[in-house]
Structure 1
């Protein structure tokens, strides 16, 4: 048999002893911890009808989802590429009469392509979600749980990255850009390219004061003192921006009280999960590792397309990556 037949697809991994046992030990440890914190375990299916997988939170996952036709029904099916939308569906349909729902999950997801930084295509995704809590206490609970998850995995020196997509939404919403231009502007901000911003603004005829706000937004990243600078820099951007800064300041203040030594980085132009997140977004990074090792944020209104709209916040990580970095 050709050796090529033994090779796995690019970005797809398998686990062998002793790594497989180490993964199983970590899985049990994490799920036991979630259970003690009051989270209910769900085990969503690997495949679902495509329209359900791409409803609500998952529209941006379309290009990363494997699709095929169900021989039994003729309908399009998809292999899950993220378990968060499945958790949202389950919370809306199976826990609709429960005011506040806390769910956890762990399972393999499959993606047509890795993320921009070359991540795996078959991560073992672990995560927690809170549905029905709109206050920052829920965001703080999820951030705390994310950091505890990293510590349980042996990663004790992670630092936290904070942002708020509401700031960008409030500023860009005044421009009434079409989806294509919105995507271009989004990409420019993620790359923090001032020359590309100037070129984009000139081509679209944007007013200089608007360009100035976006240019300043790109520079608003660093330690928590960024929030003080943002107050002055973005004072003309409107109340929604000031309210978003209020939220970030409250979160930072409470995190500082609970974990005074936690390194916190603020980036107001970081828009991870922009297409469905509505408020605070966060990620954890490990020293010497360029890619985020856990991520999350608020996505209010989730479940509306399933008939139960309510606020939500959560985080997820890759079990394989956590174990690899801890070794």
Structure 2
């Protein structure tokens, strides 16, 4: 048996990629902090009731489950940090006004997904609680744009939908839970003929409106078409108005915006606008988000909520390779001036590696392009010379 083999879709993150992930993590958390989002670090495991509460069945199959040896209760390894932040907001912080939270941590999923096709994504996200208006949705989406731009992603494209439109049509048609799930499944594949067959017993207006959703995708003109083709219920009218306001605001940032009213990602979890961010050259969504006002209710306090998350491992995997900073090699020794120079360089952000005895022949493995040498002016950093070239003092 090869003891060094890892399970399928579980991988080590080696130094070069780990350095890029950590740099991006710091950059994003600093960005979130500058916008007032406070960092929380929820536990890796919780009782399954807490992890699943408010999320319907969306996370059930994705969650690894284990028996707690202390209590005998069933525990889950988190597959998504968002429900945990909702619990923290509703039950732990108990703020009355707006709360802004952010996080960065590993999650585990039973099946691989995302750009990296891994079962251990590194999830980073921001969540806003306590405000139900479209203004908080726009704030979250602006922050998402800044986060992806900070990661080096260009030519962003965000696709929007609103689960309230489908919900309003289902309510109007008095659809059973079983049929609702079937209609939802077929709608995701945009199979209009199958949709029409399923909806054969619904009233004609509801049936035609559901079928229209499969065709309502494209630029902002889709919203005008939706206003003409869908019932003018208060919920649908408000949803279209919110989508228009959001689309105009995000498009003003130079981001391409589109709408797909049949896209109901997270329907059992979200309650309003949902969105996915894409960019040219990437095989799938870079980030996902939306409004989920009902989740906090299960933790004792219903709070409006909106947010987004992304997988840093997938994002880094998809980005072009970055040139990482190389280090300075220093000789072994306890000379006070040498140690002081090393400390000064490290304090300035340089990587300084002090050689150990007997390893001079492995210097190339240290990935250093400069070295500390003792000259007339004391310890100085010089470029490591290629064969036949003189070293340059930096």
TM bin, normalised by shorter chain, reads over 0.9
The reply to whether residue 264 of structure 1 matches residue 257 of structure 2 is yes
Measured in 1, the distance between the counterparts of 2:117 and 2:172 equals: 35
The reply to whether residue 212 of structure 1 matches residue 205 of structure 2 is no
Question: How big is the shift at 1:118?
Answer: 8.6
Counterpart position of 1:130? 128
Q: How many residues align?
A: 320
The reply to whether residue 152 of structure 1 matches residue 150 of structure 2 is yes
The reply to whether residue 239 of structure 1 matches residue 204 of structure 2 is no
Is the 2:116–2:317 Cα contact (8 Å) retained in structure 1?
no
Measured in 2, the distance between the counterparts of 1:97 and 1:42 equals: 15
Structure whose CA Rg is larger: 2
Counterpart position of 2:290? 297
Measured in 2, the distance between the counterparts of 1:247 and 1:319 equals: 29
CA spacing shift, 1:184–1:117, aligned 2, 3 Å: farther
Structure 1 runs, 4 residues or longer, greater than 6 Å off: none
The reply to whether residue 170 of structure 1 matches residue 168 of structure 2 is yes
> C-alpha offsets along residues 230-265 of structure 1, whole Å, 9 cap, x if unaligned?
11111x3522111110111111222233x1x31111
- SS of the residue 1:91 aligns to: helix
Deviates more, 1:118-127 or 1:155-164: 118-127
TM-score by length of 1: 0.93
Unpaired runs of 5+ residues, structure 1, are none
CA spacing shift, 1:275–1:115, aligned 2, 3 Å: farther
Is the 1:66–1:79 Cα contact (8 Å) retained in structure 2?
yes
Of 250, 254, 257 in structure 2, the residue corresponding to residue 255 of structure 1 is: 250
Measured in 2, the distance between the counterparts of 1:116 and 1:18 equals: 21
Measured in 1, the distance between the counterparts of 2:117 and 2:265 equals: 15
- SS of the residue 1:315 aligns to: strand
What is the root-mean-square deviation in Å for CA atoms of aligned residues? 1.7
Measured in 1, the distance between the counterparts of 2:183 and 2:56 equals: 21
- Relative contact order higher in (CA < 8 Å, ≥ 6 apart): 1
Deviates more, 1:7-16 or 1:149-158: 7-16
Counterpart position of 1:105? 103
Question: How big is the shift at 1:10?
Answer: 2.0
- SS of the residue 2:250 aligns to: helix
